[in-house]
């Protein structure tokens, strides 16, 4: 039944009160012990511990797009969608070793600030606008939409009121600043992991009954692999129905790296968690996040595959289809949540809300950071006080959330929202990564080259996507991960040629200081990284 019981509301109320009270405690302590400057508000400078940074990275990353969207992709194409999570674990190690030390050494607080320091304000401003538009109209809107869809599927709350409630909850958390977001995210990630595991346990328990051994979830997992063998392959061969979503080895050596390196290394709302910490704390926090990343498919993908098996067995035919009779993969997770007993459904509901609110708060804070520091202070009020910058950031949070709430209902036609998000964020990823990599590691990269790379990324991505349709198949229709690779390589080559043909007399690259000694890591970090990479190797070998 699509409603919450009294017990569920009590569980959710306890979660809400705990988060609110802890957030208020952190805010009050922050007000007494720290300055109210912009760096404290946006970065929680020096305040977050390694475990808070790691938890906040995951809480901000995991949202309804994972619980609903990734489970939907698990239903449709299987375990292979986990490559986004498992490749991210490897990427986080690279970011911790090579990216974060440079940012911290050069006191970089925002990604546009890096571009302004390395290139010029034009490149910085163009990318700042791109980031704000993507965060508001792709990220925030999709998270609100998927969160509201999930909540309406397990309760009697209307879609509109779900949107309004999520916006209000998220704004309250965000207005407390990054320190409040970071420490409340520890609670949020704990709740989402527990709630996610509860739902996964339910799915495997149902399968264990089908296998004739009720209550034995390991038997349920073995039964799942037996009945859905096609859903337990990480690498698709050409000709596979979902090859265009995950094109073979491109998930290991192509576009997936571009996607992840851009997301984890050049993304404001991700790197922001670590930019206010010292190098050791930042690295340990990122490594902790990498360990957590290994677990996400258990709570986000397995339930979707389980629903695929149950649906193939004749169950949940009505729940998994729309009014026209079309199978809707994104209905998989909400359908499972509705089967939870009273109390447990409240835990799952709290987990889903925690994921949505944490992600919304993180992204909204980043929108506010970029707008306040890289646009408002730079172009509208150069003499703005710290207090005025913080107030501007708070108003930006409110406006961004309202805009996202207005646009979110327009996403109702999506079947696999997770793939939609990845594809359209991927329009700017190749260009962003190109100008960051060359800016970080090749001193000869010129401002003109960076500007060309910035301006090329969206048009080139759009041409590769839509030209096959415009030419009625005369132009190859590449999978979107391969389009990202093509765009990235083309931009890199173009930037190198431009930089060589027209070198910059006074290179701004000298302002970015790189000390190779910063790339050395501790023994503990090395051991943790080897364990993660070993686990990843085993997973890909086992499920190739």
* Model pLDDT for residues 27-44, shown as the tens digit of each residue: 676 555 554 555 556 555
Cα–Cα distances in Å, from 26 out to 23, 169, 465?
5, 17, 46
> What pLDDT shows up at residue 496?
94
Average pLDDT over residues 112-132: 85
**Does residue 2 carry a pLDDT above 70?**
no
> What pLDDT shows up at residue 355?
74
The most confident of 186-190, 425-429, 465-469, 524-528, by mean pLDDT: 524-528
Name the residue with higher pLDDT: 518 or 298.
Answer: 298
Average pLDDT over residues 221-230: 85
> What pLDDT shows up at residue 504?
75
- Residue 321 forms beta bridges with which residues? 327
Residue-wise pLDDT for 226-275, tens only, equals 888 888 888 888 878 878 878 888 888 888 898 889 888 887 767 776 77
- Give the pLDDT band of residue 533 (cuts 50, 70, 90): very high
Cα angle value 469/472/476 (rounded, 5°) = 70
- Give the pLDDT band of residue 495 (cuts 50, 70, 90): very high
- Give the pLDDT band of residue 147 (cuts 50, 70, 90): confident
> What pLDDT shows up at residue 180?
67
- Give the pLDDT band of residue 47 (cuts 50, 70, 90): low
Q: By the 8 A CB rule, do 4 and 155 touch?
A: yes
CA-based nearest residue to 104, from 524, 522, 526, 512: 512
Residue-wise pLDDT for 312-325, tens only, equals 887 777 777 766 66
**Does residue 217 carry a pLDDT above 70?**
yes
Q: By the 8 A CB rule, do 301 and 82 touch?
A: yes
Please give the domain boundaries of the chain with CATH numbers for all domains. Answer: 40-425 (1.20.1730.10)
Query: Could you give the 3-state DSSP secondary structure of residue 294?
Result: helix
Global pTM exceeds 0.85:
no
When mean pLDDT is compared across 32-41, 115-124, 392-401, 491-500, the lowest value belongs to 32-41
**Does residue 115 carry a pLDDT above 70?**
yes
Name the residue with higher pLDDT: 5 or 324.
Answer: 5
- Helices and strands (DSSP H and E) totals, the chain: 26, 0
- Give the pLDDT band of residue 334 (cuts 50, 70, 90): confident
Q: Which residue has the tokens 């909850």?
A: 169
Name the residue with higher pLDDT: 542 or 518.
Answer: 542
In sequence order, what are the residues at sequence separation of 6 or more whose Cβ sits closer than 8 angstroms to the Cβ of residue 500?
444
Q: What percent of the chain has pLDDT over 90?
A: 9
> What pLDDT shows up at residue 492?
95
Average pLDDT, the chain: 81
Average pLDDT over residues 490-511: 80
Residue-wise pLDDT for 338-366, tens only, equals 777 887 778 777 777 777 777 788 788 88
For 12-56, give the DSSP string.
HHHHHHHHHHHHHHHHHHHHHHS--SHHHHHH-TTT--HHHHHHH
> What pLDDT shows up at residue 420?
64
> What pLDDT shows up at residue 270?
72
Backbone angles phi, psi at 321, to 5 degrees: -125, 155
The most confident of 59-68, 69-78, 169-178, 490-499, by mean pLDDT: 490-499
For 437-473, give the DSSP string.
HHHHH-TT--HHHHHHHHHHHHHHHHHHHHHHHHTTT
Average pLDDT over residues 329-336: 79
Cα angle value 335/339/343 (rounded, 5°) = 125
The dihedral sign for the CA sequence 149, 151, 152, 154: positive
- Give the pLDDT band of residue 494 (cuts 50, 70, 90): very high
Q: What is the 3-state secondary structure (H, E, C) of 327-339?
A: ECHHHHHHHHHCC
Report the distance separating Cα 139 and Cα 257, nearest Å. 20
Integer-rounded Cα Rg, in Å, for the chain is: 23
The most confident of 188-192, 222-226, 436-440, by mean pLDDT: 436-440
Backbone angles phi, psi at 47, to 5 degrees: -100, -25
Total residues belonging to the chain: 544
Query: Could you give the 3-state DSSP secondary structure of residue 321?
Result: strand
Name the residue with higher pLDDT: 39 or 103.
Answer: 103
Average pLDDT over residues 272-295: 85
- Residue 327 forms beta bridges with which residues? 321
Residue-wise pLDDT for 50-76, tens only, equals 887 888 788 777 776 677 778 888 888
| Tally of CB atoms within 10 A around 386 | 14
**Does residue 490 carry a pLDDT above 90?**
yes
- Return the C-alpha torsion angle 58, 61, 62, 63, nearest 10: 140
CA-based nearest residue to 42, from 117, 97, 111, 92: 111
Residue 80 burial (C-beta neighbours within 10 Å; 0-12, 13-18, 19+) = buried
When mean pLDDT is compared across 15-19, 108-112, 297-301, 319-323, the lowest value belongs to 319-323
Residue-wise pLDDT for 438-474, tens only, equals 988 888 889 899 889 888 888 888 888 888 777 776 7
């Amino acid at each position: 039944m699509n409603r919450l019981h009294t017990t569920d509301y009590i569980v959710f109320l306890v979660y809400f009160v705990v988060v609110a009270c802890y957030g208020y405690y952190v805010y009050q302590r922050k007000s007494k012990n720290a300055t109210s400057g912009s760096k404290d508000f946006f970065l929680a400078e020096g305040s977050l511990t390694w475990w808070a940074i790691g938890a906040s990275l995951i809480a901000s990353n995991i949202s309804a797009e994972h619980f609903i969207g990734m489970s939907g992709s698990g239903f449709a194409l299987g375990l292979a969608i986990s490559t986004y999570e498992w490749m991210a674990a490897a990427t986080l190690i690279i970011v911790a070793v090579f990216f974060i030390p440079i940012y911290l050494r050069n006191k970089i607080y925002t990604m546009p600030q890096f571009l302004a320091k390395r290139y010029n304000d034009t490149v910085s401003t163009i990318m700042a606008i791109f980031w704000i538009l993507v965060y508001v109209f792709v990220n925030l809107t999709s998270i609100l939409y998927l969160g509201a869809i999930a909540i309406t599927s397990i309760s009697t709350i209307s879609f509109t009121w779900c949107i309004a409630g999520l916006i209000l909850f998220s704004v309250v958390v965000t207005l407390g600043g990054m320190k409040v977001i970071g420490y409340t995210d520890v609670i949020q990630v704990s709740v989402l992991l527990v709630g996610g595991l509860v739902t996964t346990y339910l799915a495997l328990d149902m399968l264990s009954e089908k296998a004739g051994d009720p209550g034995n979830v390991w038997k349920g997992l073995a039964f799942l692999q037996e009945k859905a063998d096609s859903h337990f392959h990480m690498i698709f061969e050409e000709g596979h129905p979902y090859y265009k979503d995950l094109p073979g080895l491109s998930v290991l050596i192509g576009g997936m790296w571009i996607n992840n390196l851009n997301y984890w290394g050049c993304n404001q709302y991700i790197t922001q968690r670590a930019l206010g910490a010292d190098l050791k704390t930042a690295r340990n926090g990122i490594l902790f996040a990498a360990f957590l990343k290994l677990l996400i498919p258990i709570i986000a993908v397995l339930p979707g595959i389980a629903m695929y098996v149950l649906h193939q067995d004749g169950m949940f035919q009505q729940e998994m289809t729309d009014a026209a009779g079309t199978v809707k993969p994104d209905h998989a997770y909400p359908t499972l949540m509705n089967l939870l007993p009273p109390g447990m459904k409240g835990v799952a509901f709290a987990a889903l809300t925690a994921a949505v609110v944490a992600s919304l708060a993180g992204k909204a804070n980043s929108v506010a950071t970029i707008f306040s520091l890289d646009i408002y202070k730079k172009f509208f009020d150069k003499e703005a006080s710290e207090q005025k910058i913080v107030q501007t950031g708070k108003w930006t949070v409110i406006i961004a959330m309202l805009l996202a709430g207005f646009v979110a209902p327009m996403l109702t036609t999506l079947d696999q929202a997770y793939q939609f998000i990845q594809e359209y964020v991927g329009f700017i990823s190749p260009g962003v990564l190109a100008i960051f990599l060359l800016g970080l590691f090749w001193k000869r990269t010129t401002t003109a080259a960076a500007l060309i790379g910035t301006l090329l990324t969206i048009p080139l991505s759009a041409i590769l996507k839509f030209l096959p349709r415009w030419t009625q198949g005369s132009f190859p229709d590449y999978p979107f991960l391969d389009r990202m690779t093509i765009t990235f390589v083309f931009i890199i080559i173009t930037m190198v040629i431009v930089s060589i043909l027209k070198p910059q007399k006074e290179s701004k690259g000298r302002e970015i200081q790189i000390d190779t000694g910063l790339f050395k890591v501790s023994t503990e970090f090395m051991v943790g990284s080897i364990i993660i990479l070993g686990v990843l190797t085993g997973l890909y070998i086992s499920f190739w």
